[in-house]
């Protein structure tokens, strides 16, 4: 409030008090003048106190007005010395100051609007950050789940690879076994072929010996083979006695004959033995006639060689 405004308020208050005092006097005169007088005296005393107080305020306001004019004058002279004698310069400076204050107030309002906008943007950014944080947490959870799935898949893949490796090893082993079996089968086939050739050679040798029997040979004389085919080998040869690996358990009996022959690179027919002693597992035979070769351990003994001989 300006100094002039304060003075006007003070004068308005004094006028109100005077009018009020007249009203009180009139009321006291018309009714109870003694009570009214005492009350009016009390009110007047209060009014005098108020007037004194407002007087002091008016004096203080006048002093502040004078100080303000002095400051404005000093500011006017400081701004523009040519305005020192211009009585309206203070008012213009005051108006300029008020305009500057209004401009600053406008700037402050704009700054408040900007601050409010920035606060709203900050709140939006916080909300977006919260959303991004939630998305990041969800992505992290999904990443962890995918990592666990990858571990499971890797373990499954490793198990399948190990299984395939074992199957491959088994297949290789089976292939090796098959190759070994094929080699063994081929070797056995070759051995059978060789044995067949040896048996055929023995048969030819026996046929030659049989054909020469009429000239004093002994191959066809005294033959008494067992009814069943018996095959064994010579375990010992001592002069014209031969120990054999077959006996009564094999169906061999005393007086029967077995043919002695030798297998190898050059199969040969050796001769015939007549069984003179029979045990359960072994027997002893005596050579019939002169053998083509000396009998030795490992030679074969059989009831017949081939073709019924």
* pLDDT of the chain, 309 residues: tens digit per residue: 576 677 777 777 777 777 777 776 666 666 655 666 677 778 777 777 777 787 888 888 788 877 776 776 666 555 555 555 666 666 666 677 778 888 889 999 999 999 999 999 999 999 999 999 999 899 989 899 999 999 999 999 989 999 988 998 998 899 888 888 888 888 888 777 777 766 766 666 666 656 554 444 444 456 889 988 899 999 999 989 999 999 999 999 999 999 999 987 788 889 999 999 999 999 999 999 889 889 999 999 998 875 444
Decide: 302 and 231 in contact? Cβ < 8 Å: yes
What is the residue range of 250's domain? 212-302
Does residue 164 fall inside a structural domain?
A: no
Angle, CA 116 vertex, CA 114 and CA 120 arms, to 5°: 115
Longest dimension (CA), the chain: 205
The kind and range of the H/E element at 277 are: strand 268-278
- Tell me which of 62, 86, 110 is where a domain ends: 86
pLDDT score at 81: 57
Instruction: Report DSSP state, residue 185.
Output: H
Does residue 26 fall inside a structural domain?
A: yes
Query: How crowded is residue 225: how many other Cβ atoms within 10 Å of its Cβ?
Result: 17
Among candidates 195, 302, 193, which has minimal Cα distance to 246? 302
Does residue 78 fall inside a structural domain?
A: yes
pLDDT score at 127: 92
- Tell me which of 86, 117, 149 is where a domain ends: 86
Q: Which residues contact 250 (CB under 8 A, 6 or more apart)?
A: 230, 232
pTM above 0.85?
no
- Tell me which of 86, 112, 135 is where a domain ends: 86
Among candidates 280, 289, 193, 294, which has minimal Cα distance to 234? 294
Cα–Cα distances (Å) from 21 to 31, 42, 143, 186, 187, in that order, read 15, 11, 92, 154, 155
CATH number at residue 289: 2.40.10.170
Decide: 291 and 241 in contact? Cβ < 8 Å: no
Joined tokens for residue 167: 């199957």
- Domain count of the chain? 2
Does residue 105 fall inside a structural domain?
A: no
Does residue 53 fall inside a structural domain?
A: yes
Joined tokens for residue 257: 């004959």
Q: Which residues contact 296 (CB under 8 A, 6 or more apart)?
A: 234, 237
């Amino acid at each position: 409030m300006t100094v002039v405004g304060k003075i006007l308020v003070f004068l308005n208050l004094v006028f109100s008090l005077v009018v009020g005092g007249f009203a009180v006097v009139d009321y006291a005169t018309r009714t109870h003048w003694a009570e009214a007088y005492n009350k009016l005296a009390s009110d007047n005393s209060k009014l005098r106190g108020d007037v004194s107080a407002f007087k002091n305020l008016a004096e203080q306001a006048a002093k502040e007005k004078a100080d303000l004019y002095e400051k404005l004058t000093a500011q006017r002279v400081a701004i523009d010395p040519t305005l020192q004698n211009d009585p309206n310069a203070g008012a213009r400076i005051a108006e300029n100051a008020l305009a500057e204050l209004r401009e600053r107030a406008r700037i402050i309002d704009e700054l408040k609007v900007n601050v409010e906008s920035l606060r709203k943007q900050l709140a939006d950014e916080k909300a977006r950050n919260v959303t991004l944080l939630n998305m990041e947490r969800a992505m992290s959870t999904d990443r962890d789940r995918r990592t666990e799935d990858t571990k499971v898949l890797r373990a499954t893949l490793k198990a399948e690879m190990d299984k395939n490796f074992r199957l491959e090893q088994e297949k290789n082993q089976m292939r090796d076994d098959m190759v070994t079996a094929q080699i063994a089968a081929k070797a056995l086939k070759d051995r059978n072929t060789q044995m067949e050739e040896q048996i055929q050679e023995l048969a030819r040798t026996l046929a030659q010996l049989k054909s020469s029997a009429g000239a004093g040979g002994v191959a066809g004389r005294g033959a008494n083979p067992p009814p069943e085919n018996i095959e064994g080998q010579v375990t010992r040869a001592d002069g014209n006695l031969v120990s054999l690996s077959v006996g009564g358990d094999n169906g061999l009996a005393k007086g029967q004959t077995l043919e002695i022959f030798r297998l190898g690179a050059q199969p040969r027919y050796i001769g015939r033995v007549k069984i003179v002693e029979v045990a359960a597992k072994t027997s002893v035979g005596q050579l019939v006639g002169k053998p083509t070769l000396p009998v030795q351990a490992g030679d074969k003994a059989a009831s017949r060689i081939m073709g019924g001989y």
